[in-house]
Amino acid sequence: MSAFETANEHGIAVATLDVPGEPVNTLSPGLADELRLLLDRLAADGDVRAVVLISGKPDSFIAGADIDQFAKLRTQADAESLSRDAQAMMDRIAGFTKPVLAAIHGACLGGGLELALACHYRIATDSPKTQIGLPEVQLGLIPGAGGTQRLPRLIGVRAALDMILAGRNERAAKAYRLGLVDELVPPSILRSVAVAAADRLASRGVPLRASRGGVAGALLDRTPVGRSMVYRQARKQALAKSGGHYPAPLAALEAVRVGLERGIDAGLAEEHRRFGQLAVGDVSRKLVRIFVDTTALKKDDFGLAPAGPVPAVRRLGVVGSGFMGSGIAGTAALNAKVEVRLKDAELPRVGKGIRAAIAILDDRLARRRLARPDHERLVALISGAADYSGFTRADLVIEAVFEELGVKRQVLAEVEQEVRPDAIYATNTSTIPIAEIAAGAREPSRVLGMHFFSPVAKMPLLEVIPHAGTAPAMTLGAVRFGRRMGKTVIVVADRPGFWVNRILLPYLNEAGLLLSEGVPVDVIDRTMTRFGFPVGPVALLDEVGLDVGEKAAGVMQAAYGDRLTPSPVIARMVAAGRLGRKSGRGFYRYSDGKKAGVDSGAYAAMGVRPRQGVSPATVEQRLVYAMLNEAAMAAGEHVVRSARDGDVGALFGIGFPPFRGGPLRMIDDLGPRRVAEVLSGLATSFGERFTPAPVLLAMAAGGRKFHTD
């Protein structure tokens, strides 16, 4: 079946792209061949005066290249060839003798935007669903089909670098202001306006575009000295943001620079050379693998084979309207578009929770990710009460109350008296085993865990945790609803701490032990942000709340023994009223909710004196290997079904550095034997908690790895 359907409307060929059997259009070598044949035919057709390229997919123009082809590249020569072929395809469009117009609605990303840039004119819809960008750096790559050359020439070097180096998508309105698109129209008239514009271009030619940017644009974008200043500043910002771990932004910057200073042919050559180097590099390999794995997770049913129908969630009940409950409610209304009913013990708390949930929608409205009519419709989905009125209609109830077993059991008992017998009941616990919560349930088969991460609206991961008696249909229903909420979902075993907190707690505990030895707060956190984490472990403790961390550490010690004995400094900080950000002071000071530096008073509260001359290498090794060892141990206990699930969970749940691929991938890269040797050395120096996990020793002896790819 052809991906293109062409209609001639009074001399305008409207070519509708609709790749058969796929939810979105993506560029592939096969599609490129078909497009070449289409252009050859249209060039020879005397009845065609201009061409409109439009998508037949809902809410998607072209979502980018087919990422699978990147995963299959084996040599730099192969990658360079792929880029050269794509550049040639875009050159064919740019040099087409008849005007070619791109009519854009929905995602226009990566190779899709590069194709649009090669067209002579671009019209986009004003829908929030229209997103335009070059996100290749997020895969450790650079645009490889001429994007580094055409975008700066169209909108100026500053605006182009801002998009390319960050890999950020822009709304259509912003793209219009930048000059990236020529017209902005409602979706309902996109086709008719595009045909009219193509007719105009065929009759009058492509209009000249005015220079943009005013005086600053003239000085910085259009003079060699000005551009040199822009390059230096862009390089400085890219290094600061990437920490030097990601080579793609600097490669993209160099491709742009060469093209603007030495001409487009030299720029295209630099682009395909740099693309080839990156595509077979370690960082891109890992980032592409993460993308492929995450995409696969969206379709994975985790081997669940329900005997009966899978519940479809249309109405959601949330018990607990605090920070987590309100976040769940607002995110569910925004993304899953379901009715949400909040319940708390007191009406003022319910009202506060509703306001917090609506604030998530307000933020999207303010950032123009939601149109006002949509915002009003979604706000109307959220309601609440101080009793369980409305819960009889709920298909799913999520409990988000205090992390205390007795309280959670009490809420479960109350909810079971209110809801239908076929409703799913989920507890948002971070450490308590689900089987313990479900022990007194009337229908334990419908009880499971849905562990969201804070803040719910921003954190992409959801752990779904069935206990041994959970019905597969309930688990699958929770998985599918989590995806509707926009989450990447993994199913994990019902063990204390589950997966993410299981591997996180030893890391945080080791940070506490380092603090008790007098290692300065800033040394610990700076070491780990340089390693690649978005925040250091001490700052993370402040964010989580030291009282929450103390309780979680107690649960983990009870489950796993003395190797997870918590550092005494956490209890001392809690006793001193230093709970972290929520109390305004912890290890750091906070002013107006923002971190304002290390609080020197924290050392007195901990009962330690900071010492100098600490080796950052030792700090890094203790913290990293504490996590790696626990990840190996948990994987060996089958807490996660696969190494893929474990690494995606660590990446999205705790911000494990993506360029390292995840803790299990890192063990594979280092080699289980080497990891076990380092752990044995740490155990000798610092204690038995570093004793290598049995699975590491077995893998070292058998020459095995966690990943098979």
The pLDDT value given to residue 124: 98
Residue with more model confidence, 305 or 46: 46
The pLDDT value given to residue 213: 75
Distance CA 515, CA 430 (A): 24
Distance CA 433, CA 436 (A): 6
The pLDDT value given to residue 165: 96
The pLDDT value given to residue 305: 86
Tokens of 190: 């996109």
The pLDDT > 70 percentage for the chain reads: 100
Say whether 597 sits in a helix, a strand or coil: strand
Tokens of 291: 């993308």
At the fourth CATH level, the homologous superfamily of domain 4-286 is 2-enoyl-CoA Hydratase; Chain A, domain 1 (3.90.226.10)
| Active-site entry in 463, 510, 543, 630 | 463
User: Per-residue pLDDT for 648 more than 80?
Assistant: yes
Q: Are 107 and 55 in contact (CB under 8 A)?
A: no
What is the mean predicted confidence (pLDDT) over 261-271? 97
Per-residue pLDDT band at 440 (split at 50, 70, 90) = confident
Lowest average pLDDT, out of 289-303, 615-629, 663-677, goes to 289-303
The pair phi, psi for residue 346, each rounded to 5°, is: -130, 140
Distance CA 135, CA 139 (A): 8
Residue 463 known to be catalytic: yes
Mean pLDDT across the chain: 95
The pLDDT > 90 percentage for the chain reads: 87
The pLDDT value given to residue 71: 83
The pLDDT value given to residue 687: 95
- Strand ranges for 47-189 from DSSP E: 50-55, 60-62, 100-104, 107-109, 121-125, 131-133, 169-171, 183-185
What is the mean predicted confidence (pLDDT) over 321-350? 96
Helices (H) and strands (E) in the chain, counts: 30, 20
What is the mean predicted confidence (pLDDT) over 125-139? 95
User: Per-residue pLDDT for 1 more than 80?
Assistant: no
Tokens of 318: 């949330």
DSSP string across 452-470: E-SSTTT--EEEEEE-TT-
The pair phi, psi for residue 449, each rounded to 5°, is: -105, 140
Per-residue pLDDT band at 470 (split at 50, 70, 90) = very high
What is the mean predicted confidence (pLDDT) over 440-468? 95
The pLDDT value given to residue 466: 98
The pLDDT value given to residue 214: 78
Enumerate the β-bridge partners of residue 384. 342
The pLDDT value given to residue 284: 96
User: Per-residue pLDDT for 72 more than 90?
Assistant: no
The pLDDT value given to residue 426: 98
Per-residue pLDDT band at 446 (split at 50, 70, 90) = very high
Per-residue pLDDT band at 69 (split at 50, 70, 90) = confident
Distance CA 466, CA 448 (A): 5
Query: What pairing do the DSSP bridges indicate for beta strands 183-185 and 131-133?
Result: unpaired
User: Per-residue pLDDT for 699 more than 80?
Assistant: yes
The pLDDT value given to residue 208: 84
The pLDDT value given to residue 258: 97
Cβ burial 285-295 (10 Å sphere, 16+ → b, else e) = bbbbbbbbbee
Report domain extents, the chain.
Answer: 4-286, 315-491, 500-564+612-702
The per-residue pLDDT for range 401-422, each reduced to its tens digit, is 988 899 999 999 999 999 998 9
Tokens of 158: 């500053």
Q: Residues near 631 by Cβ (< 8 Å), separated by ≥ 6? A: 503, 646, 650, 663, 664, 667
CATH assignment of 500-564+612-702, given 2.10.70.10, 3.30.1330.200, 1.50.10.10, 1.10.1040.50? 1.10.1040.50
User: Per-residue pLDDT for 516 more than 80?
Assistant: yes
Tokens of 561: 């023994």
- Which helix (H) or strand (E) covers residue 225, if one does? helix 224-242
Residue 396 is classified by DSSP as E
What is the chain's alpha carbon radius of gyration, rounded to the nearest angstrom? 28
Q: Whose structure tokens read 């988000």?
A: 400
CATH class of segment(s) 315-491: alpha beta
Per-residue pLDDT band at 591 (split at 50, 70, 90) = confident
Enumerate the β-bridge partners of residue 184. 124
Say whether 241 sits in a helix, a strand or coil: helix
Q: Counting every residue, how long is the chain?
A: 709
The pLDDT value given to residue 548: 87
The pLDDT value given to residue 91: 97
Per-residue pLDDT band at 222 (split at 50, 70, 90) = confident
Per-residue pLDDT band at 96 (split at 50, 70, 90) = very high
What is the mean predicted confidence (pLDDT) over 622-646? 97
Distance CA 383, CA 342 (A): 6
- Nearest 5°: the CA angle 117, 134, 95 is 20
Per-residue pLDDT band at 68 (split at 50, 70, 90) = confident
Per-residue pLDDT band at 501 (split at 50, 70, 90) = very high
Q: Residues near 76 by Cβ (< 8 Å), separated by ≥ 6? A: 276, 277, 279, 280
Distance CA 250, CA 239 (A): 8
Say whether 131 sits in a helix, a strand or coil: strand
- Strand ranges for 315-373 from DSSP E: 315-319, 339-343
The pLDDT value given to residue 709: 81
pTM over cut 0.85: yes
Distance CA 291, CA 131 (A): 19
User: Per-residue pLDDT for 492 more than 90?
Assistant: yes
Closest CA to 672 of 647, 694, 689, 649: 694
The pLDDT value given to residue 217: 80
Q: Are 250 and 235 in contact (CB under 8 A)?
A: yes
Per-residue pLDDT band at 396 (split at 50, 70, 90) = very high
The pLDDT value given to residue 308: 84
